[in-house]
Amino acid sequence: MGKGQIIITGVSTGIGYAIAKAALASGFQVQGIGRRAPADLNGSSGWSFVQADLTQEKELESVPFLANESGGPTVLINNAGTLGPVMPAGKADWNGINHAMTLNVVAPMRMTARFLAEVSGERQVIFTGSGAAQFAIPGWSAYCASKSAIHMYAEVLQQEHPDVRIHAFKPGKVDTPMQAEIRATHQQDFPAVDAFKEEYEQGKLVAPETVAAKLLKVIEGPVEQPVVFALSQITL
């Protein structure tokens, strides 16, 4: 009997990909959801992939939740996300704001609602949150607002479903493609860009594999964290 099943959105790269690899190695079934499948996971025991663009209603609503054959818990990790428009708030247009809010907020809300309605047995729901939800960062209006919204959604959800473990974790600054996107922005759009470049050059970013290992420890361990917590609090 396996450890359970983990369903991960945004599994193509970065944190989602690292979680998928670590979960498979640890004995979980893993169902990945995204626009592109990680090629090196194809054929892995316990791995399955569903291609879907979660900004498209019909695609999101038709994603099947595969049966959990392990007997352990079923865990949904809402990880798919985007930085969104990086520029002063007044310059962000409808399309940029709408895409960021759809992927970062609407999609995980709908995916979670479907999960809780359609999946039975022991369940957990986890959101990739951000410290940006709690700090105003010039140039990141859509990202900050969207992550703040998802933190509050997790808090509400826990009140509505006290029998389900629900968390939003803050991973810190992780060495992912999103961080590369941040470093490529212009200072007039994102005044703090030089600080991000400096932290990268000094090797201060967290490895995605570290995030994955800590999150699996939370999933498999006792419930000790509040709904929203920083992953830096978890020791390996």
Q: Which residues are catalytic?
A: 143
d(CA 43, CA 48): 8
Q: How far is residue 185 from each of residues 21, 133, 143, 236, measured CA to CA in Å?
A: 30, 20, 14, 34
The answer to whether 7 and 77 have CB atoms below 8 angstroms apart is yes
H-helix or E-strand containing 168? Answer: strand 165-170
H-helix or E-strand containing 124? Answer: strand 123-128
CA dihedral 214, 219, 224, 225 (to 10 degrees): 70
